[in-house]
């Protein structure tokens, strides 16, 4: 079955430190992978996507993600975390039937 896993419910990081939010996927064929962020009482905002090309994808607000085909991972990263980055992050994959499968989300808490 096609799926997305976000193994960490919550990630805590100190402001200024690098952050990583993990995502692994299982999908047939070439994956379309996405990261979205959700702030309280808001809908999801698109951060970045991987379709093809360079394994390192750059997105909004200084975020980037690394696609690793052999490990079937698409981890979200940022070199220096801000308190304002605290939010709920979702990884998603588009399956072969064009349905979007979302992970259960990882709550990022950046501590001042």
Partner 1 sequence: KAGVTQTPRYLIKTRGQQVTLSCSPISGHRSVSWYQQTPGQGLQFLFEYFSETQRNKGNFPGRFSGRQFSNSRSEMNVSTLELGDSALYLCASSLDPRREGEQFFGPGTRLTVL
For partner 1, the closer of residues 77 and 107 by Cβ is 107
Which DSSP letter does residue 30 get?
A: S
Q: Is 11 helix (H, G, I), strand (E, B) or coil?
A: strand
Instruction: State yes or no: residue 89 binds partner 1 (CB under 8 A).
Output: no
DSSP annotation string for 64-108: EEEEETTTTEEEEEESS--GGG-EEEEEEEE-TTS-EEE---EEE
For partner 1, the closer of residues 103 and 108 by Cβ is 103
Instruction: State yes or no: residue 103 binds partner 1 (CB under 8 A).
Output: yes
> Binding to partner 1 (CB under 8 A): which residues in 46-85?
46, 49, 51
Q: In the complex, what is the shortest distance from the CB of residue 40 to partner 1, in angstroms, rounded to a whole number?
A: 11
* Whether the Cβ atoms of residue 24 and residue 34 lie closer than 8 Å to each other: no
Binding site for partner 1 (CB under 8 A): 32, 34, 36, 41-46, 49, 51, 90, 92, 94, 97-105
């Amino acid at each position: 079955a096609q799926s997305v896993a976000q193994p960490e419910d919550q990630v805590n990081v100190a402001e200024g430190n690098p952050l990583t939010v993990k995502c692994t996927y299982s999908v047939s064929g070439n994956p379309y992978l996405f990261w979205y962020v959700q702030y309280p009482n808001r809908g999801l905002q698109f951060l970045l996507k991987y379709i093809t090309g360079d394994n390192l994808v750059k997105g909004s607000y200084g975020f980037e993600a690394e696609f690793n085909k052999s490990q079937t991972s698409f981890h979200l990263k940022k070199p220096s975390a801000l308190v304002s980055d605290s939010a709920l992050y979702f990884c998603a994959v588009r399956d072969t039937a064009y349905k979007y499968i979302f992970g259960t989300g990882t709550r990022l808490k950046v501590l001042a």
